[in-house]
């Protein structure tokens, strides 16, 4: 089983269907902890386990290889990042904005000032 370094973001699926499509489709599915590839043979996961966790009332699905699962059945250091930005004079999480303000945020441009 080949282990590889994560490229920064760990794979988290929002539904069992999405996780299955990743595993049985053309997308590479990796262990949440070590990053090794998880493979399937038909409906059976060959070298890992699909785990379901709850995060603020939402289910999340992750894969762990058998080696990592035997060491620790849980996942650690997972929490979706909440982005805050200034809106109408005060900071507030973007997730609480209405649709129009979110779209406005997506269209914002960042400017970098050269300090020479």
The per-residue pLDDT for range 38-82, each reduced to its tens digit, is 887 777 788 888 888 777 777 778 888 889 888 988 877 666 678
Tokens of 53: 């966790």
User: Model's pTM, two decimal places?
Assistant: 0.53
Domain count for the chain, please give it: 2
Is residue 62 domain-shared with residue 88, that is, in the same domain?
A: no
Is residue 60 domain-shared with residue 98, that is, in the same domain?
A: no
The one-character DSSP state at 82 is: P
Instruction: Please tell me the number of Cα atoms within 13 Å of 16 on its side-chain side.
Output: 6
Tallying the residues shown for the chain, one arrives at 116
Is residue 58 domain-shared with residue 32, that is, in the same domain?
A: yes
Is residue 65 domain-shared with residue 87, that is, in the same domain?
A: no
Residue 39 to residues 12, 30, 34, 67, 111, Cα–Cα distance (Å): 16, 9, 15, 14, 44
Contact 74, 103 (CB under 8 A): no
Domain residue limits at 21: 16-70
Is residue 43 domain-shared with residue 20, that is, in the same domain?
A: yes
Q: What is the pLDDT of residues 70-97, one digit of tens each?
A: 898 887 766 667 888 887 788 888 888 8
5 part of a folded domain:
no
7 part of a folded domain:
no
């Amino acid at each position: 089983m080949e282990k590889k370094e994560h490229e920064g973001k760990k794979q988290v699926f929002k539904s069992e269907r999405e996780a299955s499509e990743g595993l049985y489709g053309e997308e590479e599915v990796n262990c949440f902890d070590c990053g090794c590839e998880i493979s399937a043979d038909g409906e059976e996961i060959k070298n890992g386990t699909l785990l379901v966790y709850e995060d603020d009332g939402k289910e999340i699905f992750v894969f762990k290889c058998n080696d990592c699962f035997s060491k620790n059945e849980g996942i650690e250091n997972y929490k979706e990042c909440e982005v805050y930005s200034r809106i109408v004079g005060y900071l507030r999480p973007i997730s609480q904005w209405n649709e129009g303000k979110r779209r406005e945020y997506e269209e914002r441009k960042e400017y970098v000032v050269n300090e020479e």
